[in-house]
Amino acid sequence: MFNILFFLLFIANSALADTAITETDVHTEATVPAETTTPMEASVPPESAAPNVIAPLEEVIASEEVVASEEAVASEEAVASEEAVATQDAVSPVDPQLYQQAINQILPKDNRPVGRLEAGKEIFTKRTILKMLEQGGPPPLWDPISIQSLSDALSGLAADGLNPGEYRFEEIEPYLNDPTHSAKSPEDAARIDVLLSEAYLRAMYNLEYGKVDPQRLDADHNFAGLRDGADRSSQFLSWVQKGRIDEAFDWARPKSNSYKLLKSALARYQKIMADGGWTKIPSGKVIKLGKSDSRISLVRSRLAITGDLASAYGQDTVDEELEQAIKKFQNRHHLKADGVIGRGTLAVMNIMVEQRVDQIRANIDRQRWYYPKNLKEYLVVDVAGFQIYWIKNQEVIWQEHVQVGKRFTSTPIFRDQIEHIDFNPTWSVPPGIKRRTILPSLKIDPSYLDKKGYRLLDDYGRDVDPYSIDWENMSKMPFTVRQPPGWGNALGKVKFMFPNKHSVFLHDTNHRELFSRKVRTTSSGCIRLQNPFVFAERILARQEGWGRDRIDRILNSSRTTRVNLEQPLPILIQYSTVSVAGDVVFFRTDIYRRDSKLLAALDDPFRLHVPDLPKRTQLLIKGRVKSASASAAKLLTPKPEILGEPYNNIYQDEPDNGGNSMFEL
């Protein structure tokens, strides 16, 4: 049939070509395909045109091109039709009634939020899957295109620090490897649809909220991703139907540059790991400028692999180029940047690449917790980096150094908002410090409060004589201990309040000399600012009638004065042990030893986060976590200290190296 049609078309075009011999050149040119006719050619007058003896040949060629074009279109349509048929063949017809019966059995419409195929195979996203199936049209829900898209997107999760194999369940692996694989029965089709959907939604959940639930690690944590209660099942379904699971995963990922920079760092260190990593450097004498050592070739190789040194080739002597590379390495790892490889620097150099990859993975998951979706202006306290940042419209507009809590009085990780500022504040000693410091000190010396200038008050605010109390036999501190305002006050001359159960806030300090330390774990949990009056000026500049002159007048009055903020300022207190500035990766000291616990949870099986569980279960989990935290705190209880004196920090001689913002946005 096709040959007959082609023959008739050829005869017709030949006849047209014969007719064209007797017609004018204008007509002949009009029959040439438009893309070959220029304005200049179209404007030539007929009388100046030479006899067109080759016009019939051109027209035959043109007509053959038309036929060829029609053949190509027909061929493309045939291929598309064959592909469509192939797709239909790959998606075997499923009896809708038997399919629905199987779905009803797998995911019964009851009050239970979690379904179960059999023991050990929970369907955590049951309700969303049911809604997708109801809206999805004739079964099956997943076709070869969408399955291929899911397979590719799951494989890409390694770049997010997640384990793709965790979502490639054994039962759906044949389909992910070969999307044209067909289910053997409606019951099988139903199971596969449910499991593919569960894999898809689990990955979405982990990308948006984090693989690890922060509230299972820390009872004080309140960074749980916002749950607005919106039903997004139709949006999730549309990505499946379009075969664009990559778009779905991109939607779920945090949009912050911090997340993107950490992903780039992970890719770099995963590449180093795939290439074999680096070799451990044996212990030995100190390596420094001018010294020769057989281990220097290993040092050069180690530093070149991570980009601290341009080339691994060189002599077995420390020259100036190598010394600068050592300093760069030390700088990136919060070490004393003296260019000398001693025991501490060598130990950090010998941390294997696998551990660094895991450390980056852990911090990528933290960024999924911390991502401030709906905030345009906020503060971030980077506890492990000892910095505070003011972020506005994704730009860092101000930053400075801070001091944070010691390990056994660690600064809690949570979010809140600054509501007011107190100038010339009094300080009511928190319960924890009264228990750990004040009471033990009074047992040793009843004059302790007088020496410190503190007042002892009862529940009615009346003064109590500390010498009238039998401190030796007292197990609890029933009184308020208050320090009056002044330059000697533990809070300095100003504090920034975000009322919370931890009694933690930002404040001035009477120990500014501690800002010269590299690792500033010096407080009892609060956050000490290096330049609190500059911060006060900036935050009050958002209110009419406030400037530095007015602030100074209040400070000089010595009167305790509260200023309420017209616009509370959100504050996010975070903990990250890896940061990236530009293309430089910085590894921090895990001052509170939290990475290992997070990493263990990162490799655990999937779990719903506490906010998505029934209320009773939430209370049970929070109670267990709080109890475990309290037990750990007892093990870390310090000896009585003299309140306000510098803490003996083993890192105190390391130089400061601020400005390496993890928020290079």
Please spell the DSSP secondary structure of 314-337, one letter per residue.
--SB--HHHHHHHHHHHHHTT---
* Two tokens, residue 75: 């061929």
Q: What are phi and psi of 80, to 5 degrees?
A: -60, -40
Q: Quick check: 197 and 141 in contact, CB under 8 A? A: yes
* Two tokens, residue 265: 């760092």
The runs of H, that is alpha helices, within 210-255 are 214-217, 233-242, 245-252
Q: What are phi and psi of 389, to 5 degrees?
A: -125, 140
pLDDT (0 to 100) of residue 406 = 94
* Two tokens, residue 213: 């639930």
The b-or-e profile of 79-108 (16+ CB within 10 A means b, else e) is eeeeeeeeeeebbeebeeeebeebbeebbe
Owner of token pair 């990955």: 203
* Two tokens, residue 635: 């093990």
The b-or-e profile of 552-563 (16+ CB within 10 A means b, else e) is eebbeeeeebeb
| Of residues 365, 367, 397, 360, the one with CA closest to residue 382 | 367
Q: Quick check: 532 and 508 in contact, CB under 8 A? A: yes
Query: Beta 584-587 vs 395-405: how paired, if at all?
Result: unpaired
User: In sequence order, which residues have a C-beta less than 8 Å from that of residue 350 and are 6 or more positions away?
Assistant: 280, 281
**Half-sphere exposure in the Cβ direction for 489 (13 Å, CA):** 26
User: In sequence order, which residues have a C-beta less than 8 Å from that of residue 454 and are 6 or more positions away?
Assistant: 429, 481, 482, 483
What letter does residue 611 receive in the DSSP assignment? G
The residue type found at 139 is: P
- Three-state DSSP state, 446: coil
What is the C-alpha separation between 572 and 355, in angstroms, rounded? 27
Cα Rg, the chain, nearest whole Å: 36
What is the C-alpha separation between 431 and 492, in angstroms, rounded? 20
- Three-state DSSP state, 295: coil
> Cα torsion at 66, 72, 75, 80 (round to 10°)?
-120
Owner of token pair 């040092």: 299
CB count in 10 Å sphere of residue 470:
7
The residue type found at 75 is: S
What is the C-alpha separation between 397 and 522, in angstroms, rounded? 26
Helix (H) or strand (E) holding 632: helix 615-635
Query: Beta 506-507 vs 527-529: how paired, if at all?
Result: parallel
* Two tokens, residue 558: 């010595």
pLDDT (0 to 100) of residue 423 = 97
Q: Is 312 exposed, middle or buried (0-12, 13-18, 19+ CB in 10 A)?
A: middle
Owner of token pair 């980009």: 307
What is the C-alpha separation between 602 and 612, in angstroms, rounded? 18
Partners of 581 in the beta sheet? 584
The residue type found at 6 is: F
pLDDT (0 to 100) of residue 372 = 87
Q: What share of the chain is helix, strand, coil (3-state, %, to 5)?
A: 45, 15, 40
CB count in 10 Å sphere of residue 69:
11
What is the C-alpha separation between 221 and 207, in angstroms, rounded? 19
- Stretches in the chain below the pLDDT threshold 70: 1-92, 225-226, 629-665
Enter the pTM of the model.
0.79
Separation in Å, CA 476 to CA 431, 432, 461, 664: 10, 11, 18, 47
pLDDT (0 to 100) of residue 618 = 86
